[in-house]
Amino acid sequence: MSAPSNQRRTALICGITGQDGCYLAAHLLGLGYRVVGTSRDAAPARLGGLRQLGIDQRVVIEPASLAEAEPLVTLIERERPETIYHLAGQSSVAASFDQPAETFESIATSTLLLLEAVRTATNPPRLFVAGSSEIFGTRQTAPVTCRSRLDPQNPYALAKTTAFRIVQQYRREHGLFACTGVLFNHDSPLRPARFVTQKIVAGACAIAAGHQQELRLGDLSMQRDWGWAPEYVVAMQQMLSRDTPEDFILATGRPHRLEEFVAAAFAAVGLDWRDHVVRDERFVRPRDGSHPLASVTETTERLGWTATVQLPELVRRMVAARQSDDATSLTRAA
């Protein structure tokens, strides 16, 4: 483990092995930061995303679960990070119904513990916390901003809502530089396979390659705002580089139906999705309505960040990465 140097600024990423953690690590290394990241288990199998980006040897991995205060305090005192990014936690809405306690602890309690560790640090670092559009629920009719009514409708949303409010409370009461990026969906080739977007991309590629006949999906009418993950981590860093801490919506501002995602994925492999996709009631989630429209005006004007990759391009990139991975696996197997 390398000791913090006086010359290089250190950034701590909690949840570095996840999609956003990997891209953020690459971005911060590019900016000259020394990057330290936490993982519950620093086993090599967990570091696949970092390896894919070619940076697994350039970051320091610290085993930490964020479930206890003391190790966090020790880590922050030892590494003296300038900035901390809290991207760790159970990140699936569907799984949160089965694991409500773990979801709450890994999202809300961990945020509270991190804020306390920051508050009591000798040199309090700046803190970014990953929020979620799920805090707004599915019943809002007007475009949402960070001041919109919160209406969490599942255990994941409830945990994110709590974390969002705790960050605001600490900012107000203790004057900390802490803020939440209210993240709408964002994807990339590093999105875990359990998410429907990756299932669609994998399914379209497998059908095009003749390995699979059909793809079974639930409700295709629900709307989401999908962006390109590598762009979102740039916004996270920008939020910690401002003069004052403020929460921002991170979204494209252009929602699409899941059907459009499916159509784009099949089009990218030269197929018509209607010939291959079968509706399967087992995958319909009754409480999984459409997300509200994101207002991105403040983000554009005050943060100076805009998502530039829109859905068709995002899907093309995911499909191309999947096809390239599949081709590499076939070459290895031959």
Helices (H), the chain: 19-30, 48-52, 69-79, 93-98, 100-104, 110-119, 155-174, 196-208, 229-239, 258-268, 297-298, 311-333
Residue 166, interface with ligand NDP (CB under 6 A)? no
Residue 89, interface with ligand NDP (CB under 6 A)? yes
Please answer whether residues 93 and 288 qualify as being in contact, where contact means their C-beta atoms are separated by less than 8 angstroms.
Answer: yes
Q: Does 92 participate in catalysis according to the annotation? A: no
Question: 253: alpha, beta or left, given left = phi > 0 and alpha = psi -120 to 50?
Answer: left
Structure tokens at 203: 């399914």
Please answer whether residues 90 and 106 qualify as being in contact, where contact means their C-beta atoms are separated by less than 8 angstroms.
Answer: yes
Please answer whether residues 250 and 235 qualify as being in contact, where contact means their C-beta atoms are separated by less than 8 angstroms.
Answer: yes
The minimum distance between CB 73 and ligand NDP, in angstroms, equals 18
Q: Quick one: which of 10, 83, 91, 161 contacts ligand NDP (CB under 6 A)?
A: 91
The minimum distance between CB 37 and ligand NDP, in angstroms, equals 8
Stretches 68-76, 87-95, 119-127, 316-324: which one binds ligand NDP (CB under 6 A)? Answer: 87-95
H/E segment holding residue 327? helix 311-333
Tell me which residues in 188-247 interact with ligand NDP (CB under 6 A): 192
Residue 19, interface with ligand NDP (CB under 6 A)? yes
Separation of alpha carbons 272 and 198, rounded Å: 18
Stretches 114-122, 183-191, 274-282, 312-320: which one binds ligand NDP (CB under 6 A)? Answer: 183-191
Q: Which residues contact 186 (CB under 8 A, 6 or more apart)?
A: 20, 226, 227, 228, 229, 231, 232, 250
Residue 186, interface with ligand NDP (CB under 6 A)? yes
Stretches 85-93, 138-146, 147-155, 165-173: which one binds ligand NDP (CB under 6 A)? Answer: 85-93
Structure tokens at 242: 């401002």
Q: Quick one: which of 35, 75, 76, 90 contacts ligand NDP (CB under 6 A)?
A: 90
Binding mask 54-73 for ligand NDP (x = CB under 6 A): -----------xx-------
Neighbours of 313 (CB within 10 A): 12
Tell me which residues in 115-154 interact with ligand NDP (CB under 6 A): 130, 132
Separation of alpha carbons 233 and 26, rounded Å: 10
The minimum distance between CB 274 and ligand NDP, in angstroms, equals 27
Give the number of residues in contact with ligand NDP, rule: CB under 6 A: 24
Stretches 13-21, 199-207, 277-285, 315-323: which one binds ligand NDP (CB under 6 A)? Answer: 13-21
Identify which of residues 43 and 142 has a Cβ nearer to ligand NDP in the complex. Answer: 43
Q: Does 231 participate in catalysis according to the annotation? A: no
Q: Which residues contact 303 (CB under 8 A, 6 or more apart)?
A: 235, 238, 239, 242, 246, 248
Q: Does 132 participate in catalysis according to the annotation? A: yes
* Site for ligand NDP, rule CB under 6 A: 15, 17-21, 39-40, 46, 65-66, 87-91, 102, 106, 130, 132, 183, 185-186, 192
